């Protein structure tokens, strides 16, 4: 039986690739799930909290701005189908990396941006992508999104998961009213 299990695991990894994870903070996690979930090779995206020290924080605690946690998404992906570079490409094109006070209508540290790396390779790739984005002079201000070592990630409450699917009317209204779409369209039309 053990030999069968080992053979099955080897075949599974060779066919489907090894699952890896990436963690990003881009303001409201509702707005960050959808862009990543649409990418071929992304297995799942979980909304949650990371970056602070408070254990098992609730949405109410994080939104108070007193936990040090940021609303974040953890992206599980197959690196044989989608690269970490592609995930960074998606991340940069869904945030305002020049705003260190939050994102769009959502203000406070808990809505600020960050890339949380899980290994040295991700750190180097993230740093390189940030430098390259800065060289393109797309933004009028400096890119302030920090690149930080991954910390414990706490999944958000169930009602936050896949919010854009469960509540499409409310999600689309929030997203439009937040100013995110207008900003992204203006910046990336260039």
CA angle at residue 131 from 112 to 95, to 5 degrees? 30
pLDDT digits (tens, 9 = 90+) for 1-29: 554 544 444 444 445 568 999 999 999 99
Asked, for residue 13, whether it belongs to a domain, the answer is no
Q: Provide the number of structural domains found in the chain.
A: 1
Per the domain annotation, does 5 fall within a domain? no
- Give the distance between the most distant pair of CA atoms in the chain: 61
- Residue 1 inside a domain? The answer is no
For the full predicted model, state whether its pTM sits above 0.85.
yes
d(CA 181, CA 158): 25
The parent domain of residue 99 ranges over 18-189
- Which token pair is 69? 């946690």
- Whether 101 is in a domain gets the answer yes
C-alpha closest to that of 28 among 108, 98, 148, 138: 108
Task: Report the pLDDT value the prediction gives residue 189, as an integer from 0 to 100.
Answer: 85
Catalytic residue among 25, 26, 28, 46: 28
Q: Is residue 103 part of a domain?
A: yes
Q: What is the per-residue pLDDT across 130-167, written as a single tens digit (0 to 9) for each?
A: 999 999 999 999 999 999 999 999 999 999 999 999 99
Q: Is residue 8 a part of any domain in this protein?
A: no
Catalytic: 28?
A: yes
Query: Which CATH number do you get for residue 158?
Result: 3.30.1060.10
Residue 2 belongs to a domain: no
What's the confidence (pLDDT) of residue 12? 46
**pLDDT one-digit tens code per residue, 40-85:** 999 999 999 999 999 999 999 999 999 999 999 999 999 999 999 9
Residues of the chain with pLDDT > 90: what percent? 89
């Amino acid at each position: 039986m053990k030999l069968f299990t080992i053979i099955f695991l080897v075949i599974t990894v060779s066919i489907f690739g090894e699952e890896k994870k990436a963690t990003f903070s881009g303001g409201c996690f509702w707005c960050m799930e959808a862009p990543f979930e649409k990418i071929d090779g992304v297995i799942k995206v979980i909304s949650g909290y990371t970056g602070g020290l408070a254990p098992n924080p609730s949405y109410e605690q994080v939104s108070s701005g007193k936990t040090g946690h940021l609303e974040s998404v953890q992206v599980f992906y197959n690196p044989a189908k989608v690269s970490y570079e592609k995930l960074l490409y998606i991340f940069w094109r869904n945030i305002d990396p020049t705003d260190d006070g939050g994102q769009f209508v959502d203000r406070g540290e808990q809505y600020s941006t960050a890339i949380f790396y899980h290994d040295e390779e991700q750190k180097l790739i993230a740093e390189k992508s940030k430098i390259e984005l800065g060289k393109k002079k797309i933004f009028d201000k400096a890119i302030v999104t920090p690149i930080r070592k991954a910390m414990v990630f706490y999944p958000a409450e169930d009602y936050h998961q896949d919010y854009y699917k469960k509540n499409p009317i409310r999600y689309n209204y929030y997203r439009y009213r937040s100013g995110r779409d207008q900003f992204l369209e203006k910046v990336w039309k260039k």
